[in-house]
A and B are shown apart, each in its own frame.
Chain A
Amino acid sequence: MATRDKAPSLFDAAILKPAIVASFVKLDPRTLMKNPVMFTVELVAVAATILMARDISVHGPGVGFEIQIVAWLWVTVLFATFAEAVAEGRGKAQADTLRRMRSETIAKVLLGVGGDLFEPVRAHSLKVGQVVLVEPGDIVPGDGEIVEGVATIDESAITGESAPVIREAGGDRSGVTGGTKVLSDKIKVRITAEQGSSFLDRMIALVEGASRQKTPNELALSVLLAGLTLIFVLAVVTIPSFATYAGGSVSVIVLIALFVTLIPTTIGALLSAIGIAGMNRLVRFNVLALSGRAVEAAGDVDTLLLDKTGTITLGNRHATEFLPVGGVGEDEVARVAQLASLADETPEGRSIVVLAKEKHGLRGVDMADLKARFVPFTAQTRMSGVDLDGKVIRKGAVDAVVAHAQSMGAAVPLEEITRIASSIGKQGGTPLAVSRDGVVLGIVYLKDVVKGGIRERFAELRRMGIRTVMVTGDNPQTAAAIAAEAGVDDFLAQATPEAKLRLIRAEQAGGKLVAMCGDGTNDAPALAQADVGVAMQTGTNAAREAGNMVDLDSDPTKLIEIVAIGKQLLMTRGALTTFSIANDVAKYFAIIPAMFIAFYPQLAALNVMKLATPQSAILSAIIFNALIIVALIPLALRGVQYRPSGAAALLRRNLLVYGLGGLAVPFVGIKLIDMLVTVTGLA
């Protein structure tokens, strides 16, 4: 698979330096407000700072401890903003390249539809519906549809693929993207996207994470985290009066420390970084999701609709056998089929020549030497062949060749032909009849070749609980045979766009989420109906508008990767949430005895970690709480490890690692930090 570039190393200096600056800029409460947990931490950090300033001015006792707590509070907030900045930084470089491309373009707006007269206009000021002329060497000024002409276009700026592609007016390859470069020929393009909302703009916004909206799950998770934060507010603000009852008191700075360690800062700090990193992972796979919602939906997909051609099969049929009819020798069939295919440059034609050579030792002959006349394939005749020394040699669809033979007055062994043809069809192949002078000599067995390894991929999907449905224009017999060979769960034969749409609706009515990919304009309704619609970059604008993702490599197999990325995104959030909350148990055991020991010395029994002093315990807890954020940034950016398997197995593993791990790790971590803090004399 062509990936845009390798994942940049996690802490690349080029990303780190601006990220450090950005993490201070992001302290602005107006931006931090979007993250309720970290905003709360910032608020209490401000409060703690004010308290500290007061205590310093009156030379209160324990100021050294207080200064350290306040410092760590700010570090906690900074680590959170830093995590987000690093995630964003990884997309920034790419966005800058894209932006440079956009700003310098001059569009040639046509003055009349017929002529080539134009007026140069800056690309930003283009309006929808204007028609522009794009000549070799020009940059396409905006997203649009070719209304006239055909051109080779270098799309490497968008796709990273250097081989030029052909785009032409009409049909399914008429869309062009702003920022790509015309290499040959000139085209007239009608602009279809508003400036600022073009593909390029969306891509820039996407990789930068600037226009990032919270996705539905992220929103729900934020609500949960805010709710937990409120619960801990209640748990902490009531402590002073409980302490008063017990005849003691707890200092505000200690309460603040307890509060900050309890609220889910780990996941709160990393939540947006996880989302941005998920999008970037998709971008590295050369897929652009037009919304974060689509990426999440990809994780939820139950049914994958996959086009047979190009996804499940290699796309070209290969000749595998010559089957004689009416007692003709197999070599004879091979020879005639070879002659019929010599001038046929299609992959099927070439495969016949290759098979004849390999299996029957027939060497290729130069058409020019034979003085043959090549008869090309047309949609009307559905045959091709050669006229050679007065002999009429044809190959083509069985019914077409039979009709041709009958029209030449020959007797046709219809029963035998039908038997062979239908048995080939049942095995998923395509029969081609070969005739000479109206006599049907035999049938060539063209086989659809299923891609290597695809069966295993489908088995993998099945383990993940995803059903695969193959969509093909083939007849049901052929479709069934290929479906069985490829190991898909179901198939839709003789698929029309309407049938596809019906299938999607039926699946959705059964409570399933459906993903599909498509490229043609007639795929647009199905793409729009599907919960995840991946449009091919080579497709039409209509298809690209209808889908909610665009695959720049136009590789339909990628749907599987997209699903995996969606799942990984959700799993990473879940894992860090669980970890974050499980952490609290150890923090309580560190802070509660430390807080109450002055008036209930017997609570020292709860100090199971045997932390040195109350101060060192509280300090260790808050240091651990801050450091764990940084320690988990790589995991947030990379995503948790994902192996395709059933939900139960995934859950068991993740609960073990992040649930139990989340319980155990802080006990060890806080103890170690406490030893360090004690040795260095910080507390």
Chain B
Amino acid sequence: MTLNGWAQIALYVVVVLALTRPLGGYLANVMAGGRNWLSPVLLPVERAFYRLAGINPAEEQSWWLYCRAVVVFHLVGFVFLYGLLRLQAVLPLNPQGMPAVPADLAGNTSVSFLTNTNWQSYGGESTMSYFSQMAGLAVQNFLSAAAGIALAMAMIRGFARARAKGLGNFWADLVRVTLYVLLPACIVLTLFFVWQGVPQNLGAYVDAATLEGGKQTIAQGPVASQLAIKMLGTNGGGFFNANSAHPYENPTALSNFVQMIAIFVLGAALTNTFGRAVGDERQGWALLAAMGVLFIAGVAACYWAEAGGNPQLAALGVDNSLGNMEGKEVRFGTPLSALFAVITTAASCGAVNAMHDSFMPLGGMVPLVNILLGEIIVGGVGSGLYGMLLFAIVAIFLAGLMVGRTPEYVGKKIEAREVKMTMLAILCLPLVILGFSALASVLPEGLAGTSNAGPHGFSQIFYAFTSAAGNNGSAFAGLSANSVFWNATLGIAMVFGRFAVIVPMLAVAGSLAAKRRAAASVGTFPTHGGLFVGLLVGSILIVGGLTFLPALALGPIAEHFSLLAGTLY
């Protein structure tokens, strides 16, 4: 580990923190339907959308109606995207003449982009036409991110409102987030990436003659625009197969830095939006602090493991001073690869600038654990916040009784219904991850995908389902997942991981909104201080850790100790 490495990590943290409050305020304003500097231009557009769709943005939806709107919206989105991918061959903007995407892959990909997972069982440049990328995948990148933020807003309103029936209007939330937040930010980011050298064209692939006299095909396309929303919306689906390790998708140190900022910025800002909504910004900072503690710990562990390098290589006399460089871009080195890996899995982004599969056992365990904990360390746009709030409910309930009162969080009493729904949401992750991993690790169809034996092969399986259920989308890419078995099981895992959390989460929000707001006193559990942060971190680690420790022991932990003992897989 180097001072330079740590300085870059520190700079990253400072910039994210600096952006949190102003952006949090802006988001709060957008969600409240307030006017801002973009309104003169966008308000007519917004109104036109409502008129076109016949929506009254002021109409409040109960949690159930909100939930129904979310589900209907995603179903329609699925049909549209699936159809588009299947018909790709006859649609325009296909200079490479890509054939139709096979049924199982099209289904898997549609689900994947709809659920903000962006798991890719395919290589973008060899499978997707420009039209599919732009009109299909990029659109879902915007909408799944907007839906995530809208859902977080519904949850925030659940805490902020008292004796209310409605959680807001999903359609209005969706339109506002897309118009006022994602679209303008992405235009700016796209221009920035173009400046940095990311291609933005519709031309055919270019052939180049290499120095050895061979022929190399260099893929082209509307990369920059896709890249902006891929990061900002924590989607993570790369335009190219190599994702942000590809020089066209991440050309410079600055583009790398901005991409990392873009992953966290909205998720971090939402904590502040939450604080503002409940009338105490400290509540938001406390959540962000809990996320921060877990984040820094993850970065430190991952950077330490990667910078240390492989002891078996060192024993062979290889210079290990750069750390473990397998699967890494030399231009990023261990600190920026480790940082990117932790960010992309802490949030539910899944974009990568290094191959997680090639990380040291413990280094690769950090991204895995990040997703296993529920991607609540800043997390996906929206989903990170509501996931964290669900954990806050558990933490408050576990220990909150110890102050001698019915547990309360920001003035809302946590009672049987909230606990029940929260446990339901939390249960779905282990159910899907452990269940499918158990299946895949004994079925020949599952085992066929792994590229390594022993605990590392198990890690590949385990990581795949974790990534899918957590709607992350990154992979231990040694796994070949484009088979019917993997496409189907991962598709189911993604749907479950998204909707089995959303439905009970909205139920919690609805039930909270209907409650009266309890007054705070010195007898109330203070949820804005260090004690609460510690409690929250402890609860997340214990609940998450206890659930997955046996699997982790058989994967990365076993591999780590084998490595120390000289056994490689």
Whether A566 touches B398, Cβ cut-off 8 Å, given contacts A230-B427, A241-B441, A584-B542, is no
* Chain A hits for B419, CB < 8 A: 220-221, 223-224, 227
* Chain B hits for A241, CB < 8 A: 438-439, 441-442
User: From residue B473, how far is it (CB to closest CB) to chain A in Å?
Assistant: 23
Chain A 563-607 per-residue mask, 1 if CB under 8 angstroms from chain B, else 0: 000111011011101100110110010001001100010110110
User: From residue A489, how far is it (CB to closest CB) to chain B in Å?
Assistant: 11
Instruction: Assess whether B406 is interfacial by the CB under 8 Å rule.
Output: yes
Q: Pick from B401, B419, B522, B526 the residue with the most CB of A within 10 Å.
A: B401
* Chain B hits for A648, CB < 8 A: 522, 526, 529, 531
* Chain A hits for B553, CB < 8 A: 592, 596, 603, 606
Whether A465 touches B522, Cβ cut-off 8 Å, given contacts A241-B441, A577-B398, is yes
* Chain B hits for A224, CB < 8 A: 394, 397-398, 419, 423
User: From residue A572, how far is it (CB to closest CB) to chain B in Å?
Assistant: 9
Instruction: Assess whether A21 is interfacial by the CB under 8 Å rule.
Output: no
Instruction: Assess whether A382 is interfacial by the CB under 8 Å rule.
Output: no
Cβ A585 vs Cβ B554 within 8 A:
no
* Chain A hits for B551, CB < 8 A: 235, 238, 242
**Residues A189-232 near B (CB distance < 8 A):** 216-217, 219-221, 223-224, 226-228, 230-232
CB nearest to B430 among chain A residues: A234
CA distance A219 to B418 in the complex (A): 11
CB nearest to A218 among chain B residues: B416
* Chain A hits for B518, CB < 8 A: 302, 511-513
Cβ A568 vs Cβ B458 within 8 A:
no
* Segment from B273-281, B296-304, B341-349, B559-567 that makes contact with A: B559-567
CA distance A571 to B402 in the complex (A): 4
**Residues A456-499 near B (CB distance < 8 A):** 462-467
Cβ A647 vs Cβ B523 within 8 A:
yes
Q: Pick from B399, B403, B418 the residue with the most CB of A within 10 Å.
A: B403
* Chain B hits for A567, CB < 8 A: 404-405
Cβ A243 vs Cβ B554 within 8 A:
yes
Instruction: Assess whether A114 is interfacial by the CB under 8 Å rule.
Output: no
CA distance A240 to B437 in the complex (A): 12
**Cβ-defined partner of A234 (8 Å) among B162, B434, B454, B516:** B434
Cβ A227 vs Cβ B426 within 8 A:
yes
Instruction: Assess whether A239 is interfacial by the CB under 8 Å rule.
Output: yes
Instruction: Assess whether B267 is interfacial by the CB under 8 Å rule.
Output: no
User: From residue B202, how far is it (CB to closest CB) to chain A in Å?
Assistant: 46
CB nearest to B525 among chain A residues: A647
Whether A584 touches B546, Cβ cut-off 8 Å, given contacts A231-B427, A600-B554, A648-B529, is yes
**Cβ-defined partner of A242 (8 Å) among B398, B414, B423, B554:** B554
CB nearest to A577 among chain B residues: B398
User: From residue B403, how far is it (CB to closest CB) to chain A in Å?
Assistant: 4
User: From residue A677, how far is it (CB to closest CB) to chain B in Å?
Assistant: 23
CA distance A571 to B441 in the complex (A): 44
Whether A227 touches B523, Cβ cut-off 8 Å, given contacts A238-B438, A242-B551, A658-B402, is no
Instruction: Assess whether A151 is interfacial by the CB under 8 Å rule.
Output: no
Instruction: Assess whether A407 is interfacial by the CB under 8 Å rule.
Output: no
CA distance A596 to B553 in the complex (A): 9
Instruction: Assess whether A125 is interfacial by the CB under 8 Å rule.
Output: no
* Chain B hits for A466, CB < 8 A: 521, 523
Whether A600 touches B403, Cβ cut-off 8 Å, given contacts A235-B547, A646-B522, is no
* Chain B hits for A511, CB < 8 A: 162, 411, 516-519
Instruction: Assess whether B557 is interfacial by the CB under 8 Å rule.
Output: yes
Instruction: Assess whether B558 is interfacial by the CB under 8 Å rule.
Output: yes
Chain A 325-348 per-residue mask, 1 if CB under 8 angstroms from chain B, else 0: 000000000000000000000000
User: From residue B379, how far is it (CB to closest CB) to chain A in Å?
Assistant: 20
**Cβ-defined partner of A602 (8 Å) among B400, B430, B439, B561:** B561
Instruction: Assess whether B358 is interfacial by the CB under 8 Å rule.
Output: no
Whether A574 touches B399, Cβ cut-off 8 Å, given contacts A466-B521, A511-B519, A603-B557, is yes
Instruction: Assess whether B431 is interfacial by the CB under 8 Å rule.
Output: yes
Instruction: Assess whether B415 is interfacial by the CB under 8 Å rule.
Output: yes
Instruction: Assess whether B73 is interfacial by the CB under 8 Å rule.
Output: no
Whether A231 touches B397, Cβ cut-off 8 Å, given contacts A465-B524, A592-B553, is no
Cβ A223 vs Cβ B399 within 8 A:
no
User: From residue B175, how far is it (CB to closest CB) to chain A in Å?
Assistant: 34
* Chain B hits for A512, CB < 8 A: 518-519
**Residues B428-461 near A (CB distance < 8 A):** 430-431, 434-435, 437-439, 441-442, 447, 454-455, 457-458
Cβ A592 vs Cβ B406 within 8 A:
no
CB nearest to B552 among chain A residues: A592
* Chain B hits for A242, CB < 8 A: 437-438, 441, 458, 550-551, 554
Cβ B535 vs Cβ A655 within 8 A:
yes
How many A-B contacts are there with CB distance less than 8 Å? 225
Q: Pick from B402, B524, B535 the residue with the most CB of A within 10 Å.
A: B402
Instruction: Assess whether A650 is interfacial by the CB under 8 Å rule.
Output: yes
User: From residue A243, how far is it (CB to closest CB) to chain B in Å?
Assistant: 7
Whether A299 touches B404, Cβ cut-off 8 Å, given contacts A219-B416, A235-B550, A651-B399, is yes
Instruction: Assess whether A521 is interfacial by the CB under 8 Å rule.
Output: no
Whether A647 touches B546, Cβ cut-off 8 Å, given contacts A235-B430, A592-B553, A642-B404, is no
**Cβ-defined partner of A655 (8 Å) among B402, B406, B521, B542:** B402
User: From residue B454, how far is it (CB to closest CB) to chain A in Å?
Assistant: 8
CA distance A224 to B425 in the complex (A): 12
Cβ B531 vs Cβ A651 within 8 A:
yes
Instruction: Assess whether B548 is interfacial by the CB under 8 Å rule.
Output: yes
* Chain B hits for A584, CB < 8 A: 542, 546
Q: Pick from B404, B439, B550 the residue with the most CB of A within 10 Å.
A: B404
Instruction: Assess whether A9 is interfacial by the CB under 8 Å rule.
Output: no
* Chain A hits for B457, CB < 8 A: 245
**Cβ-defined partner of A220 (8 Å) among B397, B523, B567:** B397
Instruction: Assess whether B71 is interfacial by the CB under 8 Å rule.
Output: no
CA distance A194 to B454 in the complex (A): 72
CA distance A243 to B438 in the complex (A): 9
CB nearest to B539 among chain A residues: A581
* Chain B hits for A462, CB < 8 A: 522
* Chain A hits for B439, CB < 8 A: 241
CA distance A1 to B519 in the complex (A): 33
Cβ A232 vs Cβ B558 within 8 A:
no
Instruction: Assess whether B420 is interfacial by the CB under 8 Å rule.
Output: yes
Instruction: Assess whether A42 is interfacial by the CB under 8 Å rule.
Output: no
**Cβ-defined partner of B416 (8 Å) among A220, A235, A244, A577:** A220
CA distance A195 to B104 in the complex (A): 70
Whether A299 touches B546, Cβ cut-off 8 Å, given contacts A220-B414, A603-B561, is no
CB nearest to B434 among chain A residues: A238
Cβ A592 vs Cβ B550 within 8 A:
yes
Besides A230-B427, A262-B546, A577-B399, 11 more A-B contacts (Cβ < 8 Å) are A221-B401, A241-B438, A300-B405, A465-B524, A511-B411, A512-B519, A570-B405, A588-B546, A592-B549, A600-B455, A658-B402
* 8 residue pairs, one from A and one from B, having the closest CB atoms: A465-B523, A574-B401, A567-B404, A227-B423, A465-B521, A602-B561, A574-B402, A245-B441
Would you list 30 pairs from A and B whose C-beta atoms are within 8 A, ordered by A residue? A217-B406, A220-B397, A223-B423, A224-B394, A228-B543, A234-B431, A234-B547, A238-B550, A241-B438, A241-B441, A242-B550, A244-B442, A302-B518, A462-B522, A466-B523, A511-B519, A512-B518, A574-B400, A574-B402, A578-B402, A584-B546, A600-B562, A602-B561, A602-B564, A602-B567, A606-B557, A646-B523, A648-B531, A651-B535, A659-B538
Interface residues of B (CB under 8 A from A): 162, 394, 397-406, 411, 414-416, 418-420, 423-424, 426-427, 430-431, 434-435, 437-439, 441-442, 447, 454-455, 457-458, 516-519, 521-526, 529, 531, 534-535, 538, 542-543, 545-551, 553-554, 557-558, 561-562, 564-565, 567
Interface residues of A (CB under 8 A from B): 216-217, 219-221, 223-224, 226-228, 230-232, 234-246, 262, 296, 299-300, 302, 462-467, 510-513, 566-568, 570-571, 573-575, 577-578, 581-582, 584-585, 588, 592, 595-596, 600, 602-603, 605-606, 642, 646-648, 650-652, 654-655, 658-659
